[in-house]
Amino acid sequence: MTQDFQAIPLGTYDAFKDATSWDEETSRQWVDTLNRRSAASDQIQLRARLVELAALGQRDTVVEIGCGTGALLCDLARKVGPGGRIIGFEPQAAFAQAAIRRLHTAGYESVSEVLCKSAEHLPLADESAAACLAQTVLIHLPDHILHRTLREVIRVVRHGGRVISIDQDGDTWVIDHPDRELTKRIVRFNSDQRYADGWTGRRLRRYFRQAGLSSVEVHTWPHTDTDSGTYLFDMATRLAGAAADVGVITTSECNTWLAQLDEVALAGHFFSSINFYASVGIRT
């Protein structure tokens, strides 16, 4: 017997819901996952474009909320140069430590700061930053926290500065697998349950406009993986396991689905992609 999807409230099994109380092993696994994703060539290009969209100058102060293990912080530090300032907010302690390590290793210690803190209340003055960015953070925030966080982010950005959020959309995850029906159930589990709202990507433009940002633009990037050992291969494996753990598919369905996925990958045919949507708005 499996659980009926309709009966489970959206976002019930968001992986980041309890991130601040993860044990060491779980934290380590997620640090590896974020590092693997950030090292993918699609993600390197995506970050380069985000930095461009932030329209930063040398010596600017820039804020990133939910900075994870710090890949984007380093790119931002490179952009603003030695006279600039980079401030990251990250409530998950192992992520914050990994971000600090990454910044120090890259030589950005003197221009950067990472605070182990959520972004609902930023200890920053009004209009003190040239831009604020969030990468796959808002998708994990329940509605009321998302809107409160967006207001807070807008408060700290100077007039004419940019607010940028990039989020995936759960229903754009595609994976080539021989079992279409079970794959659709796993995709739905991902979109409806593994994010506070898996449709955040398609809703960002509306949220930005409703929050009073002007000239809101949307940019779309697909992330595509064609090998095992990649971010989307790991994500598929993790999701099938999580779906079985909570009973939306059976353990036997999970094992068969994973074995078939391995066969596809062994034959060199793994294919998966997901779309990321960046909204960029100007603080009026």
Report the interface residues with ligand SAM, using CB under 6 A: 16, 19, 34, 38, 65-68, 89-92, 95, 118-120, 135-137, 140-141, 145
Closest CB to ligand SAM among residues 92, 191: 92
Residue of closest CB approach to ligand SAM: 68
DSSP symbol at 255: H
Closest CB to ligand SAM among residues 67, 243: 67
Tokens 């809101």, residue located:
216
Angle at 167 between CA 162 and CA 169, to 5 degrees: 145
Closest separation between CB of residue 43 and ligand SAM, Å?
8
Closest separation between CB of residue 256 and ligand SAM, Å?
29
Tokens 């980041």, residue located:
16
Closest separation between CB of residue 95 and ligand SAM, Å?
5
Closest CB to ligand SAM among residues 68, 84: 68
Which of 196, 264, 282, 273 shows the shortest CA–CA distance to 232? 273
229: Cβ–Cβ under 8 A, 6 or more apart, which residues? none
Task: Classify residue 168 by burial, with Cβ atoms within 10 Å: 0-12, 13-18, 19+.
Answer: buried
Closest separation between CB of residue 1 and ligand SAM, Å?
32
Dist CA 252 CA 2 (whole Å): 11
Dist CA 205 CA 216 (whole Å): 7
Closest separation between CB of residue 190 and ligand SAM, Å?
13
Closest CB to ligand SAM among residues 140, 185: 140
Closest CB to ligand SAM among residues 139, 175: 139
